[in-house]
Chains A and B, each alone.
Chain A
Amino acid sequence: MSEQESDANEPVEMLRMPVELDYTYSAGTSASRFLRAFAEGKLLGQRCPVDGKVYIPTRGSCPQHGVPIDGEPVEVADKGTLVTYSIVRVPSENIPLELPYVAIQVVLDGADTAMHHVLSECELEDVHMGMRLQAKWKPREEWETSVGNILYFIPIDEPDAPYDSYKEHI
């Protein structure tokens, strides 16, 4: 029904008022450094000057102590330990993985904080905390400044990490 045809007593329920605002973003100094390194296949963390913990990704401050992190970044491994997981059976158009897949938190070797990713090439009944994982990278020519350079993690043939080594991440 057009506005001309509508009753004067009817509430106006439709207004056309497009809002378009342009923004010029930069990821920031720390995230830019992390993403530039990611494009080279390197994973960078930063060490908190208070307790020495390595945060990944680099973020410019320690979110626990609220102090700036100015020191040189620390490279961490692209393999690590699974500390928690969930088997996802609900589709999402943003995630190109076949269902079901495994959402994981992985603590990379050399890091003290867990990062989020997905696990694949693994039987669902075999997924468990403490299992050792390795990043599966995209072909090198496809790398860009994106965490998507890692497609997913896969299990590796290493003994499980002892519980005490990752219990603080649970």
Chain B
Amino acid sequence: MRDVAVVGFTQSESVRRERDRNEVEILIPVIHELKTRAGITSEDLDFVCSGSSDYLAGAAFAFVSGLDAVGAWPPLCESHVEMDGAWALYEAWVKIQMGYADLALVYGFGKPSMGDLPLTMALQLDPYTTMPLWPDAVSIAALQARLCLEGGVLSERDMAEAAARDRRNALDNPNAQVAGDFRAEQILSEPYLVSPLRKHDCAPISDGASAVLLAAGDRAKEMCERPAWIRGIEHICEPQELGVRDLTRSRSTEIAAEKAGVGAGKVDVAELSAPFSHQEILVERALGLGSDTEVNPSGGALAGNPIMAVGLSRIGEAADRITKGSANRAVAHATSGPCLQQNLVCVLEG
């Protein structure tokens, strides 16, 4: 295996609605800042991979215009996943492992404010038997939360505490969309949005973008004083159909965590991408995190949720803490699909 590290990370603010800028214009300064900080141009990049969704943009091949932000003349080696940018990072990592690249740019971007995100998400459900009923993403997550509560897996207080923690942590994150000195009692006194979910149990919907630079071996050491080395990365998928899997635990996260080697050492920091508070608890447990791990110092997805970039941002946030020296070992998580269907786990070390 080649040593591969995160050597740079930039992100936009998470905002509910970008009125003026289009998707690409949100992305342009993010990539420019990353390249400027690293002192590189597009011609230094061996590989470029992005994550975005044409369903959010409402236009076919919308992702192609993202290359305007990169600079693709002379032509460059590029790929795209119709998933969160964390999966684009996985593809770039594989490309580097195979020896096809030493330096790769990965980015994720989305402007969900153009449409109705919870309804758009219904399109990822089974097209014959589930999608025609148009179950929105919040309702689907609420069904899962109810299963967890009735099964005694977690309590509404647990959920409120997770949400309050994230939003307090986000006070230190200038890019967060929702931050505040919240307490569980306060959240529990609020009305349900979609029972048993309260507004604070749900991640905000954010327009935004983020970008990561990956480099191999000596290249990483040249570019960064303290690279965040990827010591394990794995993604595991469960069936699409909600009725055939255990929704009260995240088996795919458990397997990915084991394969990525999460338990091989103390985890200083974990950045989780679960968009609902009960899902965050399920992921935290599946990763086997203990009380000595600081969870979501950035606030996680519950504080800022730039769709298609939020998972990549978790890897970037975790790497940032290693690069800056406040953590030696970090875990980042990304999710995709309804009710934690597919999960990616990345272990980073200084």
Contacts and interface: CB of A to CB of B under 8 A. Distances in A.
Chains A and B bind each other: yes
Interface of A: 15, 17, 19, 21-32, 59-68
In terms of DSSP, what is the predominant structure of the interface of chain B? helix
B120 interface: yes
B2 to A, nearest CB: 26
B325 interface: no
B123 interface: yes
B71 interface: yes
B29 to A, nearest CB: 6
Contacts of A66: 31-32, 35, 41-42, 68-72
Contacts of A27: 22
7 contacts: A24-B115, A28-B20, A28-B21, A61-B24, A61-B28, A66-B35, A67-B71
The 5 lowest CB-CB distance pairs between A and B, nearest first, are A66-B71, A28-B22, A23-B58, A17-B132, A64-B73
Given A26-B19, A65-B71, A60 B114 contact: no
In terms of DSSP, what is the predominant structure of the interface of chain A? loop
Given A26-B20, A60-B25, A68 B32 contact: yes
Nearest to B115: A23
B1 to A, nearest CB: 31
Interface string B61-74: 00000011111110
Interface residues of B, number: 33
Nearest to A62: B71
Nearest to A30: B25
Contacts of B25: 28-30, 60
Given A28-B24, A61-B32, A66-B69, 9 more contacts: A21-B116, A21-B120, A23-B114, A28-B25, A59-B68, A63-B71, A64-B71, A66-B41, A68-B28
Interface string B23-43: 011001101100100000110
A21 B121 CA distance: 11
Nearest to B17: A24
Nearest to B123: A19
A67 B42 CA distance: 10
Contacts of B32: 61, 66-68
A19 B122 CA distance: 10
Nearest to A15: B128
Contact of A24 (B114, B123, B131): B114
Contacts of A28: 20-22, 24-25
B77 interface: no
Which one of A17, A29, A60, A62 has the greatest number of beta carbons of chain B within 10 Å? A60
B98 interface: no
A80 to B, nearest CB: 21
B119 interface: yes
Contacts of B127: 17
